[in-house]
Structure 1
Amino acid sequence: MRPLRYSINITLDGCCHHEAGLPPDDESMRYWTTEMERADALLFGRVTYEMMESAWRRPSTGGWPDWMGEREIAFAEAIDRAEKHVVSSTLGGVDWNAELVRDDLAHAVQRLKQEPGEGLFVGGVTLPLALAELGLIDEYAFLVQPVIAGHGPTLLAGLRERIQLELVERREFRSGAVALHYRPARATA
């Protein structure tokens, strides 16, 4: 069974708005490109899908925009070619190598996890909360930014029950950001 990984940038005070942290540098872009490449498929809610598509989909001209450097192109190519599953009851359709997920969320995600492969990536705010509540997230990967945002959406806000995690990897970046990878702790009898 392939694991479902929730990966997101967060600030020290738990804000997970995509513009709240530090501007991306070479090291963080390599990190996020590797996260994209570790996944066989991406799982997004409508808002995250639309945001990612507007920023990272290859233009119809075939070339990448002039503002993209080598590091952005590597990330864009990884996300552009990835298989995507979009959870939405409001979208009429999707493309960009994507399919809509409309049926029972738990059943649909269990089906995706049972497919062969290295892993599923989920990002965003609302969908990961629902997946955490269902106990479907197998790994949490946070790139903690050395910033206190003071406002904005916070990580897993509204979670009904505590999830105990165990640290499996920690990596410090030159910028002061820290990548933390956790798995749900195994229950001890």
Structure 2
Amino acid sequence: MYRKTTELLYKSLGVKPSESMQNLFEMIKKQSHSEDADIIEIQKDLAAETPEGAFLCEYGTFREIYNMHSRLMGRLGICAHMCLVSVVNRKPRDSEDDQKYVEKIMEKMQSAMLSGLRIGDVLSRLSVNQFIVLLPSCNYENSSMVMNRVLRKIRYSLNHTRFDLEVTIEEVETKG
């Protein structure tokens, strides 16, 4: 329900969920378990999904994963990069048709990115026209190569549109 609600907010109002809504979602996600669960039971519960492609999550979850990777980078000496992918309208008009068109582009982009990114990469919708991607254990050159491959896939799925795609890549800052 939360995912559907956030999609509705993006589509109808062009905004991401408020911080209070994100906090409520975090409270709901917390589950209590019986006191006598064993580790094998817990592992089975945690491994319920078979991963395919990138991990799609809400921005609040993305922020937590980002912070975890930032801490791990400092501890393990590995690098990770974050990418911002933006859809830019070449001929800005703020009509309802343009908004629907951008939404269709964002849906196609999401599908292309989910299938074009690796297992372990993290994807989240940031705004009406932006996605944010975390590429763990990936240096700048490899990050550029990955995003170029994904952009080719996106452009192929979009054919000829009046929109451009902009990508910014930055290294994740270490914490700790």
**TM-score normalized by structure 1?**
0.27
Higher strand share: 1
**TM-score normalized by structure 2?**
0.28
Higher helix share: 2
Name which one, 1 or 2, has greater alpha-carbon Rg.
2
